[in-house]
Chains A and B, each alone.
Chain A
């Protein structure tokens, strides 16, 4: 027997998504919504109602529940803007499929992202970070650490991980920048994406058919051998999956680097703790993931009736997991609005939870640990060059964070 959804218009119903007014704090309304309970009703751009899940334990329960789907083609899947509706037309690999397809696709990728693999990449990441800082120091202050560091490091690391040859790095870097640049038009973003797809397709040909030209083996070679050649994936699927991984991991890491630097500069006592004790870097990264929660508003749809913590969700109800609210749940984190790199923040859901939890999280952790550890050690007098209020940040409904990080030293 179906439970009646309790999603009924009950004024005041806030609109979702909400914009941040500070790059490192969630929207102000999250706190008052969470105080009323683990879930709240919100109104979407088209007038539909959906659930916003703000409690940590409810968020974990729903993200791990098999009755909660990531498939944008399922009835009732919620969208935050008209421009995203196109996602209903075609199933997106990995992030937009449920078991059993998800299970098979994820298993193809897991070996490339293990703790051991990521640890093998660390020396290369450290060298890349140091080279970028050498250049920044050589140019002299001021610098924009968004353009000069945040956009650059994840691009270089991705090229190394996937096995994109060095002479392709600057091409990749240019396309990524164009895709992410605040001033890029929709056409420019589309053109950059097409250029990347074309490049990857040609690279697959080189790796398969012209091994003498294959100068940089990596994850793409393994996928060609284990999946393309065995029929596990066709060529189009391989290129799509590669693009998905590259794009999902890029904007997020860029934003964590830039916004993390800003947050540390705005909390100099915490930056000092890190400088004095570099072993705090992993804990710092988890606290930044918790505090910033840039991947806020994880979309899902219920495929059956679900009861969670006394609330009823009906089949077809849309859900948004407010990670930024859940990660400031005071039942788990005392004084949650306090940025404290010595607290134990491991239980945050900044990388998500459940079967779709970020597959690249260990790589992200390594890049972020190395970034903050190295920057703050090598440029001890680093400080913001402009008031924080003047720094532009992303609007609602996308990966959060700043789009500039002007510094001096």
Chain B
């Protein structure tokens, strides 16, 4: 197996993303989890750090629930491929 293993935060609970076309600029994600979300120059939400640590998990889940455009998605983190490299 060649190539670097993809980075994942040591303690990532999950990954978060925002569908910009669904965002209506309410900013509730920013109020709820300011370390994870910000609004760009157009006021559309953007993710500051896609790998969410478990300490921020509750806030990110709350942001997902509160988003009026239902634009926030949480998914499983990228797998730690260095562990899979040994299997063939």
Contact = CB atoms under 8 A, between A and B. Distances in A.
Interface of A: 64, 106-107, 110-111, 113-116, 346-347, 352-355, 357, 359, 361-362
B25 A110 contact: yes
Contact of A355 (B31, B39, B44, B68): B68
Contacts of A64: 68, 70
Interface of B: 24-27, 30-32, 39, 41-44, 62, 65-66, 68-70
B28 to A, nearest CB: 8
A114 B39 CA distance: 7
B68 A114 contact: no
Contact of A362 (B24, B31, B42, B62): B31
B78 to A, nearest CB: 29
Contacts of B30: 115
Contacts of B39: 114-116
A111 B44 CA distance: 8
Q: Which of A115, A116, A347, A357 has the most chain B CB atoms closer than 10 A to its own CB?
A: A115
Nearest to B70: A64
B66 A114 contact: no
Contact of A352 (B31, B32, B65, B68): B68
A346 B41 CA distance: 26
A279 to B, nearest CB: 15
Contact of A346 (B24, B27, B66): B66
Nearest to B37: A115
B68 A353 contact: yes
A110 B24 contact: yes
Given A113-B43, A357-B26, 15 more contacts: A64-B68, A106-B25, A107-B42, A111-B42, A114-B27, A115-B27, A115-B39, A116-B39, A346-B62, A352-B68, A353-B68, A355-B24, A355-B68, A357-B68, A359-B26
A114 B45 CA distance: 10
15 contacts: A107-B42, A110-B24, A110-B42, A111-B43, A113-B43, A114-B25, A115-B31, A116-B39, A346-B62, A352-B68, A353-B68, A354-B68, A355-B68, A359-B24, A361-B26
Contacts of A357: 24, 26, 68
A355 B23 CA distance: 8
A110 B62 contact: no
B1 to A, nearest CB: 44
A355 B69 contact: yes
Contact of B24 (A106, A111, A347): A106
B41 A111 contact: yes
Given A110-B25, A110-B43, A114-B27, A346 B68 contact: no
B35 to A, nearest CB: 14
Contacts of B70: 64
B32 A346 contact: yes
Contacts of B66: 346-347
Contacts of A106: 24-25
Contacts of B24: 106, 110, 355, 357, 359
Contacts of B41: 111
B68 A347 contact: no
Contacts of B32: 346
A359 B31 CA distance: 14
B25 A113 contact: yes
B66 to A, nearest CB: 6
A182 to B, nearest CB: 32
B6 to A, nearest CB: 32
Nearest to A352: B68
A353 B30 CA distance: 17
A355 B26 CA distance: 9
A370 B30 CA distance: 20
A111 B24 CA distance: 11
A63 to B, nearest CB: 8
Nearest to A358: B26
